[in-house]
Structure 1
Amino acid sequence: MPAHATAARTLLHTTPARLTRSVDTPWVPLGPGRAFKPIRFLSNDRGYVALMRVDPGTVIPPHRHTGEVHALNLEGDRELCSGERIGPGDYVFEPAGNIDTWQAVGDQPAIVLISVFGAVEYLDDDGNVATRFSSRSMEAVYRTYCAANGINIHDLLD
């Protein structure tokens, strides 16, 4: 064990860190051209952390964030409704209440690491909530997909 780890164990009494190996979780379809790879579901429906994959040309429809969102582009490009182009290594902060839409552009899927606090509410043409994704509902989608496809379900709840 490294010396710094021994010192930390001597000084601190903490809950052990929880590792998620993204290779152990599947890409779960969310609709045409969209999938997510769960990393962690936050307890008490506080939010979730996931990789999101969006195929080129796929538009993420208008949605509202009930809490803040942190998004780091890992691969591919996307264009925000403001016209800004986001590429690999670019980070976007979206405050609670933000309503936006975006699309994957270019010739490869956009893969984005997202930390979502609260829920994401997809809106219809009149601005009403049509679909709501929360930590609980995203976990249910993950579990249902794994069960239907014979994939081992990992405990990803914090």
Structure 2
Amino acid sequence: MNDTSLSSASSRPVDPERMPWIPMGPAGLSFKPLRFFRDGSGWMYLFRLEPGTVIPRHRHTGEVHGFNLSGTRELLDTGEVIGPGGYVYEPPGNVDSWRVTGDAPVVLLITVRGAIEYLTEDGQVSKRVTSEDRLQTYRRWCEANSAPFMATLE
């Protein structure tokens, strides 16, 4: 196969070590955005959760890939414990909640496709978070802190 159209593709490195942790919603949550998909279909980020933090019941409209870089979390619906090096695939429509266990923060590399819908006890959507919402959170933080936009937008 001799496809010269690929020769114009170039890498877009992002150095998360040069990025601060950006507050994201409730206390105990922060992120380092790595990539926002230009078509609005999703985003990739490093996600940090402090010990004891609980992620409330939510549903994903697209697939999610989560790789634990450090720390331990428990999936509250199943009791499964995911430690460093653990990977979780969540298919579209997956509903779950989880919490950080132990004394160390959890850091995950996450790719989200679609939206995240936070649910009430009776299953109603109480909040919907999209790639555009996360992008705007990051842009506002960069502007407020005179920080450069370091994530890729491809």
- Note whether the superposition's TM-score is higher than 0.5: yes
Task: Point out where structure 2 has 5 or more consecutive residues left out of the alignment.
Answer: none
Aligned Cα root-mean-square deviation (Å): 1.6
Cross-structure match for 1:110: 106
Which of 13, 17, 21 pairs up with 2:15? 21
Counterpart Cα distance in 1 of 2:5 and 2:55: 47
How many residue pairs were aligned? Answer: 149
Q: What's the CA shift for 1:84?
A: 0.5
Give the greater-gyration-radius structure (CA). 1
Counterpart Cα distance in 2 of 1:137 and 1:52: 16
**Equivalences for 1:1-158 in 2 at 5 Å?**
12-30=6-24, 31-81=26-76, 82-154=78-150, 156-158=152-154
Q: What TM-score, normalized by structure 2, do the two folds share?
A: 0.90
Kindly tell me: are residues 24 and 125 of structure 1, through their superposed partners in 2, closer, same or farther at Cα, counting changes over 3 Å?
same
Runs of 4+ in structure 1 deviating by more than 6 angstroms, as ranges, are: none
Is the partner of 1:45 in helix, strand or coil? coil
Counterpart Cα distance in 2 of 1:122 and 1:12: 39
Q: What TM-score, normalized by structure 1, do the two folds share?
A: 0.88
Task: Point out where structure 1 has 5 or more consecutive residues left out of the alignment.
Answer: 1-9
Percent identity at matched positions?
48
